[in-house]
C-alpha cells in the first residue's frame, strides 16, 4: 500500500466513523518500532507503522487509524486528546477504536533473571544478583556474616 492509498483510507475512515474531514497528511513511517502509529501535535499529520498492515492486516490498520483520528479530532477541537483524558476514552468507546495495537516486535525474554547467587556463611540466607558483588566489601543484611558465591549463570 502506498502513502496515497493510506491517505485516502484515513480520509474515508474519518468521514464514515467521525463524520468529519481529515485535512492534513497521513503516511507510513518505517522507523516506528513498537507503536502502530502516532499523531503529530505540531503538524497534525498521522504516521502509521507499515508492519501493522504486514503482520496483522487491514482490520488492524483501520483500528490504528481510528485511534490516531481520535487524537486528531479531539486536538483540533481543543478537547482532551491524551490517553488519560476522559474525552479521549469516551471517543474511543463511541467509535469502537482500540486503545492499544497488537504487538509488532517480539521481545527476547531471558530464561533466568539472576546471574549470581550468594549465600551467607552463618545463617544460609540466599541473595540473587544480576551483577557480581565484592564479597570482601558486602556482608549479610540479616546477621552480618560473610557472603559466599554459590552459583554463577551465564546468560546468552
Residues 34 and 67 in one domain: yes
The tens digit of pLDDT for each residue in 98-156 reads: 988 878 777 666 555 668 999 999 999 999 998 899 999 999 999 999 999 998 776 55
21 pLDDT above the threshold of 70: yes
Residues 25 and 87 in one domain: yes
Longest dimension (CA), the chain: 73
**Distance in angstroms (rounded) separating the CA atoms of residues 69 and 118:** 53
The tens digit of pLDDT for each residue in 32-75 reads: 988 999 999 999 999 999 999 999 999 999 999 999 999 999 99
Cell 560473610 appears where? 146
Which parts of the chain fold into alpha helices (H)? 3-13, 50-56, 58-77, 86-95
Q: Which residues are catalytic?
A: 68
Question: Can you give the pLDDT at residue 7?
Answer: 96
The CATH number linked to 14 is 3.30.2010.10
Please report whether residue 102 resides in a domain. no
Please report whether residue 36 resides in a domain. yes
Q: Which domain holds residue 131?
A: 116-152
Amino acid at each position: 500500500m502506498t502513502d496515497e492509498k493510506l491517505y485516502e483510507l484515513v480520509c474515508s475512515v474519518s468521514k464514515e466513523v467521525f463524520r468529519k474531514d481529515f485535512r492534513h497528511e497521513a503516511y507510513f513511517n518505517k522507523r516506528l518500532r513498537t507503536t502502530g502509529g502516532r499523531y503529530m501535535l505540531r503538524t497534525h499529520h498521522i504516521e502509521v507503522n507499515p508492519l501493522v498492515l504486514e503482520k496483522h492486516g487491514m482490520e488492524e490498520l483501520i483500528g490504528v487509524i481510528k485511534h490516531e483520528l481520535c487524537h486528531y479530532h479531539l486536538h483540533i477541537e481543543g478537547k482532551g486528546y491524551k490517553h488519560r483524558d476522559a474525552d479521549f476514552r469516551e471517543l474511543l468507546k463511541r467509535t469502537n477504536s482500540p486503545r492499544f495495537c497488537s504487538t509488532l516486535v517480539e521481545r527476547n525474554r531471558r530464561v533466568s533473571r539472576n546471574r549470581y547467587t550468594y549465600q551467607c556463611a552463618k545463617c544460609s540466607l540466599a541473595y540473587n544478583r544480576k551483577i557480581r558483588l565484592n564479597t570482601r566489601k558486602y556482608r549479610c543484611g540479616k546477621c552480618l556474616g560473610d557472603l559466599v558465591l554459590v552459583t554463577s549463570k551465564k546468560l546468552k
